[in-house]
Amino acid sequence: MDAHIPLEKIDDYRWRIPRSYKPGMRVPGLIYADEKLLKDIYRDKALEQVANVAFLPGIVNNSLAMPDIHWGYGFPIGGVAATDIEEGGVISPGGVGFDINCGVRLLKTNLEYDDVKDKIKDLIYRLFSDIPSGVGSEGDIKVSPKEEEEILLKGSRWAVEKGFGTDDDLECTEENGAMQGADPQAVSERALKRGRAQSGTLGSGNHFLEVQVIDQLYDRDASDALELNLGQVMVAIHSGSRGLGYQICEDYSRGMIASLAKYGINVPDRQLACAPVSSAEGKAYLSAMKCAANYAWCNRQCLMYLTRKVFEKFFGVSWQKLGMFLIYDVAHNIAKIEKHNVAGKEKELCVHRKGATRAFPPGHPALPEKYKKIGQPVIIPGDMGRNSYLLTGTEKAMQETFGSACHGAGRLKSRTSALRSINPDMLLKELGSKGIIVKASGRNTLAEEAPSAYKDVNDVVDVVHNAGISKRVCRMRPLGVIKG
């Protein structure tokens, strides 16, 4: 419990951990939450981790925590930190996470609820049958070692070149689906081997594919720009870099412990092992991380291709006629080199977003032309029993959070605790009574991912919206879900 941490209330949605809390903190902690969510946040050691992250060399402004914050490896999940590269700023694998570029992509369709309401069970079963999911799952998209290297360099473009998508998909993907500067030589053979068979697979745990329906609109202008309406059917895909990303994090987290002594870095937790971004160790990790990020974007592109194929077969119409166009794909476990304003000066920063997503404002040069007016789409999925949200980024996010928002509801119970307390059969009945069809690879996954294991995403999004770091566009409720 973190109940002893002295939080200073800034306003109804912002709380500060003062630098005086721990000698060695270089900046304060800044937590986005309301009174209700704070009670949940105090359940674990996440706030202690926010204070620990504030020790990182080169960190600027604040060690940030989004409203979905919970305990993680080194950094809390829902943590954001930016370090000034010129001032010896560091990069930390714990600030990215094990599932590098875990992320979400959201597709719209021109189907209405009435078109699918009597077919949803068959559709979900077909998706579950045709899309590989679960721990260690292997897909039909087989790649050679040479092709895997191409994926690590090209990301989503590799999939598009193979016929698994279009250039429009790339335009609507963060970084156009590939970060420049990836180097397969920085990736261990074990990591490469783990990734080779897993392209186009959903994975396990909180990864999912969900068919949803829009049940509330908040911003008419943004909804019109995105061509979204009440009752419209949507599809969300949540997956990451699978075993490849996990192995890269494991390799570099362990290896960077030696960097602490080498560069005279003092942090209160070895899980915050890091190295200056400009050092050989920092550059090697960044190159390997980019490989995993590109692999993940390619993976989600392949998953979207498989999803479109299922819809085509199921409805007997091409995916284009079904209007299955990508709204956006955002990463939420990543570090990026970005330019931001710090105390009136433009600085090159290494922005860690762990369990946090980019939320760039209208007009930002990184956005596709069609989103320049409304801002970057921000996707915040909930659990399989509640809602998910589409929002847009804001100028306030650029000023306060380095253009970041939260990535989901955030866990309330550990997986072990959920397994002990939740009966999968009862859960399936409860979800079925709400009209939600669920197919999962294992009973344990159902219990681990039960709605009661998560914070209420509606509360989390209220904080993000009311704090002004993202703006609600619409809300979706689940119709059917497949999980690993």
Return the active site residues.
407
b/e sequence 334-371, b meaning 16+ C-beta within 10 Å: bbbebebeeeeeebebbbbbbbbbbbbbeebeebeeeb
N-term to C-term CA, the chain:
31
Q: Which residues contact 157 (CB under 8 A, 6 or more apart)?
A: 170, 176, 177, 178
Nearest-Å Rg of the Cα atoms of the chain is 21
At 48, give phi and psi (nearest 5°). Answer: -60, -40
Token reading at 155: 């990301």
Single-letter amino acid code for the residue at 114: D
**CA 219 to CA 225: how far, in whole Å?**
10
**CA 134 to CA 131: how far, in whole Å?**
10
Contact, 130 vs 209, CB < 8 A? no
Nearest of 193, 165, 129 to residue 298 by alpha carbon = 165
